[in-house]
Amino acid sequence: MQAAIDRPDAKGKNLAAYWRQWSGDYPNFTSLATTALLLIALVIIFYLINERFLSWRNVVIILNQGAAYIILGVGMTFVITTKGIDLSIGATVALSGTVVGLILVTWKMPLVLAIPAGLAAGAACGAFNGYCVARFRVPPLIVTLGTMALFRGLSYVLLGHQILFGFPDEFLWLARGRILGIAPSVYLAFIIAIWGWYFLNYTRTGQEIIAVGGNEEAARLAGIDTNRIKFITYTIMGVLAAVGGMVWLARVNSVQAAIAYGVEFHTIALVVLGGTSLFGGRGLVMGSLMGALILAILENGLVIVGLGSFVQQVLIGLIFITVVAFRTLQFREGQVTR
């Protein structure tokens, strides 16, 4: 009798003990595990409501939708890790996309020219942000609020209200081709995520990014060129925004100046969902990967369940607020006990 009562109790204790031990050994364990649990819970819920959710066809669609989010999320993880923020990435997507669109569609020039030009445009946007943040010490929020208007304005200057479509097939292959049944853009996204994880955790520059975000003054005194690190971080963000933009363009097969409006909010949301600290000094690229998948699953799953995009927006907002509130309480608890 007693043993029967004891057993589940002991089991629960073990699990809790493991959880606590792992949390102690790996500081990021709690964040990553809760994100993973949320991801799994969402998959199970949507599968129970509608079996088609986990059909191969739909999984491919979800991954395809998530690819751009993952790529943007990796860059934003770096930026937020330095205690910065980048509101201009939607506009960067638009400006680099406009360059690609003009070259490929309007001028009918080859892909070999368009892709480097698009990446260069993205890098230039990022470098401009980085230069203003690092050199002039303008707060990142203000810089990127300004460049959000600036880059978007330039896209409108170049394109006006026209919509460019009819990209060449080689370009569309990025999102519409299939390698082993999955779009090349998905492979690209996962490669970038793995690179981002490696870069942040196992390279010197990555470690310096974390150091700058954790305590800038200490990092400077330790001999880190904080300005250079910030400049590099925003430039990487710009390049990744251009890459994400191309994936986006290839998927929708069109570009206009208003494209990707507000994507910065989704990207910041998914990075925070993934457990990266807004207070800087802690970046979880794999968390962002899961955050991007959560976002793609929510957008896709809610449609499959039959809820309109309006309910979708309300629910995504609510889930985001709840998770972040929970994270903040957790974070504060952790600080109190230490």
Partner 1 sequence: MSAAAPAPDERGGFLANLRNYHPDTGLLISSIAMLVVLIVVFSFTSERFFSQAVVVNILNQTSIYIIAGVGMTLVLTSGGIDISIGSVIGLTATIMGLLMIDHGMPAMVAILVALLVGALCGAFNGFLVAIVKVPPIIVTLGTLTFFRGLAYLLGEGRVFMRFPDPLPWIGDGRVLGLPIPVYIAVLTVIGGHFFLTSTRMGQRITAVGGNEEAARLAGIDVVRTKFFTYVIMGVLTGLTTVVIVGRQDAAQAVFGFGIELHVIAAVILGGTSLFGGRGLILGTVLGALILGVLNTGLLLSGVVQFWQLVALGILLIAVVAFRMAREGTESK
Q: Which is nearer to partner 1, 166 or 317 (CB)?
A: 317
Shortest distance in whole angstroms from residue 326 CB to partner 1: 9
Secondary structure of 61-130 in HEC code, one letter for each residue: HHHHHHHHHHHHHHHHHHHHHCCCCCCCHHHHHHHHHHHHHHHHHHCCCCHHHHHHHHHHHHHHHHHHHH
Shortest distance in whole angstroms from residue 77 CB to partner 1: 15
Q: Which is nearer to partner 1, 203 or 328 (CB)?
A: 328
Q: Which is nearer to partner 1, 78 or 320 (CB)?
A: 320
Q: Which is nearer to partner 1, 251 or 266 (CB)?
A: 266
Query: What whole-number distance in Å separates Cα of residue 79 and Cα of residue 283?
Result: 9
Shortest distance in whole angstroms from residue 116 CB to partner 1: 25
Shortest distance in whole angstroms from residue 252 CB to partner 1: 21
Of 195, 228, 199, give the one whose Cα is nearest residue 212. Answer: 228
Query: What whole-number distance in Å separates Cα of residue 82 and Cα of residue 210?
Result: 6
DSSP 183-244: -HHHHHHHHHHHHHHHHHHHSHHHHHHHHHHH-HHHHHHTT--HHHHHHHHHHHHHHHHHHH
Q: What angle do CA 327, 332, 141 make, to 5 degrees?
A: 65
Q: Which is nearer to partner 1, 218 or 329 (CB)?
A: 329
Binding positions for partner 1, rule: CB under 8 A: 85, 132, 136-139, 141-143, 145-154, 156-157, 160, 257, 265, 268-269, 272, 278-279, 309-318, 320-321, 324-325, 328-329, 332
Q: Which is nearer to partner 1, 144 or 185 (CB)?
A: 144
Shortest distance in whole angstroms from residue 103 CB to partner 1: 20
Shortest distance in whole angstroms from residue 119 CB to partner 1: 22
